[in-house]
Chain A
Amino acid sequence: MNNLTELERDSLCELFNISLGGAAKLMSEMISDEILLTVPSLKLISKAEARNFENLSKQEVCTVEQKFVGDIGNGSAFLLFHKSASLEIVKMMMKDYVALNEVSQFEKDALSEIGNIILNAILSNLAKMSNYKIETHIPEFFSGKYEELFINSTSNPNEDNSILLVFIDYQLKGKEIKGYIFFILNFDSIKNLSRVLIEKLK
């Protein structure tokens, strides 16, 4: 598997920590509750490893995918919730706007909008810190088994080692709700991004 130097890894950690801090603030604003960032570090793993990440593979999840293109390369950012938590999050977000018995009909749309806001905030910050231009697409919602997420995004199984994911955990304070934000981006793009950041810091 490809590796990053300690300095490259550190620069990316800092970038994603800062970006996630802003994103957590936005999500906190949306659901009127505190967001805990439980693992303020990033992990670079192959897509094969990602399939079994934290025993998620057989679990039902909801995700919002934000594809992006630009100077950084082509990639995807994901916001992932366990399926069991998704309706709870929507309830928290929509409680001032609709009756509780109407919340479920807004689940897909509300989660898509949360993903849109969170992932765009991270990507915008990434663009700002790197001076890259990033164009984002309309977010796509997925509900199903976690392992199915990777079926459509892998055209060639042999390319597993060229794809890396950045996982970041967050948790809602006082609630059994945990989520993940991760990026699928070619390793060369991640390495290039880290080098741009290091240059800026010099």
Chain B
Amino acid sequence: MSQKKALVVDDSTVTRLMIRKIISDKHPNWEILEAESADKAKSILPDHPDIDLFSLDQNMPGTISGLDLAENLISNYPNSKIVLITANIQDAIKNRAKDLGITFIEKPVTVEKIIPFLETI
């Protein structure tokens, strides 16, 4: 079985640390990449055409939001799973994620919230 790869995009180091630990505990062999903004994530994508899971924050410094990045990923990574993990829980954000077919998880991150999503991969 080939090793899977995840990219965690969040401007909070603490949240990246938490998501990394939850994924690693569930899947010790996965490679986990991190980016502190959607812009930074976009810059490293060309080197990683094989990402299986994207965990995205919504509000981050830089020119694009998590959902804007997600729109880009849907066309370029059609077989990958995307989850939006954000504190911005306004209906407008939830509805846009739903329209894009993206899993929406409210911060704070917890094992209970993420594991059901990980089990779909």
Residues of A within 8 A of B (CB): 26, 29-30, 93-94, 96-98, 106, 109-110, 112-113, 116-117, 120-121, 123-124, 127-128, 133-134, 136-138
Contact = CB atoms under 8 A, between A and B. Distances in A.
A30 B14 contact: no
Interface of B: 11-15, 17-18, 21, 59-61, 87-92, 107-108, 110
A106 B90 contact: no
B17 A117 contact: no
Which has the most chain A C-beta neighbours within 10 Å: B13, B61, B107? B107
Contacts of A127: 90-91
B14 A110 contact: yes
Contacts of A138: 11, 59-61
B10 to A, nearest CB: 9
A26 B110 CA distance: 11
Contact of A134 (B13, B87, B90, B108): B90
5 contacts: A26-B108, A109-B14, A113-B12, A116-B87, A134-B90
A109 B90 CA distance: 23
Contacts of B87: 116-117, 120-121
A117 B108 contact: yes
A113 to B, nearest CB: 4
Contacts, number: 56
Give the interface SS of chain A, mostly helix, strand, loop or mixed.
Answer: helix
A62 B87 CA distance: 20
A136 B14 contact: no
Given A106-B13, A117-B108, A120-B89, 5 more contacts: A94-B14, A98-B17, A116-B59, A123-B90, A134-B90
A29 B110 CA distance: 9
Nearest to B18: A97
Contacts of B17: 97-98, 106
A149 B3 CA distance: 49
Contacts of B59: 116, 136-138
Contacts of A128: 90-91
